[in-house]
């Protein structure tokens, strides 16, 4: 009896998590970008006639203790969280790329000095280091983005260094060095393009971490300050009335959960897609 040939799995089956992560990230990003047009109410307008109303047809995520629409505040809070994530990860990735490329390419004492600096930074728990810095600065969105970025580059630096140590011994790099190409040309033309894939994966996962850090700082009162909306300070407000207004904690919590889940799924799927060592 002739056997039927096995059907190859569809791209959807192979990359279902990538599609799901991209869909979640896309929806959250669209909601944040279009918040001024999608929000049915002004997120900061106080209305004493609608205090702590449960979800309804008019306010389908309810209202808070000042009568503000929770759905509108979640949309505007998403703008804050995503902006912090992108800017902080951009700062961290830029620093990590430079340090990792320089340490991996030049090696020897340059590598030793830079990597010992990385080890020193890794000795300090990142979140407590951020708390200590923020305690001395004025809590603001700009300070949060800068501090998260300046304390989150060590993993990228180590990753890029490891990739650079491997790539610098390949034939095309050796040929470029033999032809008289300088370090700058070799690093930016030959090494960086071939080391960028794992950096993209790390950056995607880093956005999720930055969003969690910002939410944690805002929950502690050290992040975005009222009346501006942030998912973290919305959770802080909801904690005070959790027993009578569950929606004030549930919906911001779900926003954080799905956003972080989306970026984690996207990052893990990109790693499986871009890393040839993981392909079967």
Q: For residue range 103-123, list pLDDT tens digits in order.
A: 998 878 888 999 999 988 888
Q: Map tokens 């990739």 to a residue.
A: 163
Stretch (H or E) spanning 146: helix 141-150
pLDDT over 50 at 1, yes or no:
no
- The whole-number average pLDDT for the span 11-17 is 64
d(CA 82, CA 188): 29
If one counts every other C-beta atom within 10 angstroms of the C-beta of residue 165, the result is 15
Q: Which own/partner pairs from 188-192 qualify as long-range (CB within 8 Å, at least 24 positions apart)?
A: 191/101, 191/104, 191/105, 191/164, 191/167, 192/97, 192/101
Domain at 20-34+62-278: CATH architecture? Orthogonal Bundle (1.10)
**Alpha-carbon dihedral angle through residues 18, 20, 25, 30, given to the nearest 10 degrees:** 130
Is the distance from CB of 118 to CB of 154 less than 8 angstroms? yes
Q: For residue range 68-113, list pLDDT tens digits in order.
A: 999 999 999 999 988 999 999 999 999 999 999 999 988 788 889 9
Q: For residue range 173-204, list pLDDT tens digits in order.
A: 888 888 888 888 888 888 888 888 888 888 99
Q: Which candidate, 55, 142, 126, places its Cα nearest to that of 91? A: 142
d(CA 235, CA 47): 20
- From the number of C-beta atoms within 10 Å of its C-beta (0-12, 13-18, 19+), residue 59 rates as buried
Q: What percent of the chain has pLDDT over 90?
A: 39
Ordered by start, the domain boundaries in the chain are: 20-34+62-278
Instruction: Name the more confident of 65 and 276.
Output: 65
d(CA 105, CA 122): 22
Q: What's residue 4's pLDDT?
A: 53
Query: Whole-prediction pTM value?
Result: 0.86
- The whole-number average pLDDT for the span 207-236 is 88
């Amino acid at each position: 009896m002739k056997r039927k040939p096995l059907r190859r799995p569809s791209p959807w089956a192979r990359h279902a998590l990538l599609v799901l992560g991209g869909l979640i990230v896309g929806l959250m990003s669209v909601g944040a970008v279009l918040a001024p047009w999608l929000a049915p109410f002004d997120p900061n307008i106080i209305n004493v006639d609608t205090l702590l109303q449960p979800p309804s047809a008019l306010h389908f995520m309810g209202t808070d203790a000042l009568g503000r629409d929770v759905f509108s505040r979640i949309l505007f809070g998403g703008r804050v969280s995503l902006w912090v994530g992108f800017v902080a990860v951009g700062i961290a990735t830029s620093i990590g790329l430079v340090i990792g490329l320089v340490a991996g390419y030049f090696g020897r004492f340059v590598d030793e000095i830079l990597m010992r600096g990385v080890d020193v930074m890794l000795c300090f728990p990142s979140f407590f280091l951020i708390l200590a810095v923020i305690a001395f600065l004025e809590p603001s969105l700009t300070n949060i983005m800068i501090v998260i970025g300046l304390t989150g580059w060590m993993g990228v630096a180590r990753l890029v260094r490891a990739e650079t140590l491997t790539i610098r011994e390949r034939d095309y790099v050796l040929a470029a060095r033999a032809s008289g190409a300088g370090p700058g040309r070799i690093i930016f033309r030959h090494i960086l393009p071939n080391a960028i894939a794992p950096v993209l994966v790390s950056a995607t996962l880093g956005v999720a971490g930055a969003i969690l850090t910002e939410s944690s700082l805002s929950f502690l009162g050290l992040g975005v300050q009222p009346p501006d909306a942030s998912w973290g300070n919305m959770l802080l407000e909801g904690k005070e009335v959790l027993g009578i207004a569950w929606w004030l904690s549930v919906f911001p919590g779900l926003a954080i959960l799905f956003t972080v889940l989306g970026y984690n799924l996207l990052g893990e799927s990109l790693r499986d897609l871009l890393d040839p060592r993981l392909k079967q």
